[in-house]
Amino acid sequence: MAEGTAWLAVDWGTSNLRVWGMRADGTAAFMRTSDQGMGKLAPDQFAGVLAALVADELAQREAPLDAWICGMAGARQGWVEAPYLDAPADLGSLAYAAVRPPASGHFIAPRILPGVCQKPAGIEDVMRGEETQILGLNALVPSLAGLVILPGTHAKWVRVDGRRIERFATSMTGELFEVLRAHSVLRLSLGGEIDGAGRNEGFAAGLAAGIESPARLPSLLFKVRAGALLSGRQPDWSAGYLSGLLIGAEVGGQRDWIDTGASDVPLVGSPGLCGLYQQGLALLGVASHIVDAADATLAGLRLARELAA
């Protein structure tokens, strides 16, 4: 048992679960992960999975351990549904809108934060988890205002003003890469070693093509196959090209979301993926900086808890 665990910070995604034991001073005493993501669980299994992951912390306690949870645990198919806040949304109210699952017999007091939705027809969109990262970004980035990009399986572009989400859009960029790589004819050009030396060169070529002609994405995609057949492109180059093309088309197709003279766009996600977006923004002359997704999530859960106190 870690000394002085005051509460649990929980990021419960579709595929994975991550739990931090938090001290009263806001630092993390430990972090644990599990593959028991929302997608694998029935509603009555969540409490037991979380309790098992921190069983040593629950022993010898006198009061239930608070757990602040963000992500897909609050989806309709999750633990218990935490209805979305409507965008434009004030993230200061995330904690108040948190949902408490029914008592489970485990010595945990869980609170699940809501996601944010955007309802108007034609721009319908949803997020669960990113809103907590954006709340946390307020503790990490002074005077947060303007565009925030959160690269990932479903990349989010979010117009933010402090704790307020003005509007947002989700691009299926990461998932497009995966389904095309695994299930389309492009797989024939992507078999074998895809992390070789040609990957960076292919990425640069795809990125430039996507940014220049985002509206041509459906035909540029086929260049992955035709380039292998005609120009002898190897799998590493082709994988880089596909990745660059998709990120380039995302960035190029939404360049009107980028403020004129934007000084420093925050990129929230895994540092490796964020670095690829950073290259894309640089082609447009836009500076950016990377914030690790876990840091933002933790800061967001901490701030949500403080705001509820």
Chain residues binding a second copy by CB under 8 A are 76, 117-119, 121-126, 154, 157, 169-173, 175-176, 179-180, 182-185, 209, 214-219, 221-223, 225-227, 229-231, 246, 249-250, 252-254
CA atoms of 118 and 126, how far apart (whole Å): 6
Nearer to a second copy, 171 or 278 (CB): 171
Nearer to a second copy, 143 or 231 (CB): 231
Name the amino acid, one letter, at 15: S
Q: Point out which residues pair with 147 in neighbouring strands.
A: 159
Task: Pinpoint the alpha helices (H) of the chain.
Answer: 46-53, 55-58, 130-140, 173-183, 199-212, 217-220, 223-231, 235-253, 271-283, 293-308
- Rg for the chain (alpha carbons), in Å? 21
CA atoms of 127 and 131, how far apart (whole Å): 7
Q: Are 100 and 73 within 8 A, CB to CB?
A: no
Q: Are 95 and 307 within 8 A, CB to CB?
A: yes
CA atoms of 282 and 288, how far apart (whole Å): 8
Nearer to a second copy, 102 or 122 (CB): 122
CB of 84 to a second copy, least distance (A): 8
Name the amino acid, one letter, at 75: A
What six digits make up the tokens of 264?
Answer: 């420093």
CB of 188 to a second copy, least distance (A): 9
Nearer to a second copy, 233 or 302 (CB): 233
